[in-house]
Amino acid sequence: MDLNTNRSLIAAALGRIPDGDRAALQTVYRLTSAKLFGVCLRILGERGEAEDVLQEVYVTVWRKAADFDASRASPMTWLIAIARNRAIDRLRSTRQSRNMDPIDAATEIADATAGADSAIESVQEHARLHGCLDGLASHERAALRGAFFDGNTYEDLAARMKVPLGTMKSWIRRAMIKLKACLEQ
Amino acid sequence: MTDTFDHSLPEDELLAAEYALGVLAGADRAAVELRAAREPPFARLVAGWEQRLAPWAAEIDEVAPSPQLWDRIAAALPAHAQSAGLWHSLTFWRGFGIAAGALAAASLAALIYLGALTQQQPLVAIIEGGGHRHFVATLDAGRGTVAVMPAAFSPDATRVPELWLIPPDGKPRPVGLLRADQTVTLTLPTDLAALAKKDVVLAVSLEPPGGSTTGLPTGPVIATGKLTSL
């Protein structure tokens, strides 16, 4: 299925949910659950827990679909944010992050440019973000990765990279400033 | 580490970035969530960051959940028509426009967050009066605390909002002072905690700074609501 068709199918189905259309939610589920489950599983690491959170995610989508504004956001962006936030909430309420392995920025290999999958956004958007991430210092990129993919907090990242908390905060903030400037070019 | 990068971004923009990235925890995270719910411009900053970062998720492999999961979800959906009663009383909020919709959603998110923390169903009360006088209270029976978020409340220059618990005997018991600008978590004395049950009324009155000194409301009761299960 081509990307734009997929995107508009998801957006159209989201638009029918506020009327109480369960089949519309099921359509959204069919088109997006594998991606969102991957997101939850990556952060939580356990299938059972990730499924509990995925259930919360679609119940949230059911309740909040009226807030989705197709003219402002892409449906996958909106859904991924809900999935990440629910998974992170779960993580925070139960335990430490799953992945607390030490990160050594000096030996961190540069990101492999993974194939952007069509369920997300255009290949160009992914390539653009990647180009900007590549422009960051390796320690900054490593810290952002730990946060985005492992659900690490500032404290987790400081421990994993063996730097003081304040240093980690300034790394992340500086990285985000650079990232925004680069993406806006 | 000697880069001379010196651009800056407003603090709100950085806070939105930290939230979207997911590095905040605990109260910091909850506070940003509530702000995003109450301040549409701030919510747009968060959405902007979610959009910037989302393409990264392309690197996460798709994994099929169990085939039975859809049935579990379908069984867990509240009917839109009844939606647990809470939403019914929240229809009032729609009068406040888009912000209120987001607010209602995020209040619920905050309640779910609190519920997850306590691992038990919290009791909640929508404390509402006329006009811009709304609070959302969440009772954590396990800890004996009640968190009260001002959903809509215009502060009064000379008086402060005070929370009261009114059990079936009808006699108001003072709980503590609230804030117009932030969520306040109050600890209930043991005897009061025992009275805080489903269907018990919470009320907010306007009192002189420091609160009522008589043990009973001295100013107008501006909003009331019953504790209900979510």
Nearest chain A alpha carbon to B76 = A59
Interface ipTM: 0.89
Statement to judge: residues B97 and B128 lie in one domain: yes
Q: What is the pLDDT of residues A113-137, one digit of tens each?
A: 444 454 445 678 888 999 999 999 9
If DSSP codes are grouped into helix, strand and coil, which group holds residue A108? Answer: coil
Q: Is the pTM for the entire model greater than 0.90? A: no
A124, A73 contact by CB (below 8 A): no
Give domain status of residue A100, yes or no. Answer: no
Average model confidence (pLDDT) across chain B: 78
Check which CATH number belongs to the domain holding B139 and give it.
Answer: 2.60.40
Q: Once rounded to an integer, what is the mean pLDDT over residues A28-32?
A: 94
Query: What does the pLDDT read at residue B72?
Result: 94
Give domain status of residue B2, yes or no. Answer: no
Average model confidence (pLDDT) across chain A: 86
Q: Once rounded to an integer, what is the mean pLDDT over residues A59-65?
A: 92
pLDDT-above-70 percentage for chain A: 84
Segments forming the whole domain that contains residue B54 = 9-69
CB pair distance less than 8 Å for A126 and B73: no
Statement to judge: residues A112 and A174 lie in one domain: yes
Domain count within chain B: 2
A66 has a chain B CB within 8 A of its CB: yes
Give domain status of residue B74, yes or no. Answer: no
Higher pLDDT, A149 or A110: A149
Statement to judge: residues B63 and B111 lie in one domain: no
Statement to judge: residues A118 and A142 lie in one domain: yes
Given a cut of 70, the residues of chain B with pLDDT beneath it are 1-8, 79-121, 130-132, 230
Optimal mutation site among A49, A52, A93, A150, interface B, most CBs of chain B within 10 A: A93
Find chain B residues with C-beta within 8 A of A183's C-beta.
Answer: 52
- Chain A neighbours among B 131-160 (CB < 8 Å)? none
pLDDT band with cut points at 50, 70 and 90 for residue A105 = low
Statement to judge: residues A86 and A13 lie in one domain: yes
Query: What does the pLDDT read at residue A6?
Result: 79
CB pair distance less than 8 Å for B78 and A63: yes
- The domain boundary, picked from A63, A94, A125, lies at A94
d(CA B81, CA B167): 30
Statement to judge: residues A89 and A141 lie in one domain: no
pLDDT value at A3 more than 90: no
Nearest chain A alpha carbon to B17 = A176
B61 has a chain A CB within 8 A of its CB: yes
Give domain status of residue A46, yes or no. Answer: yes
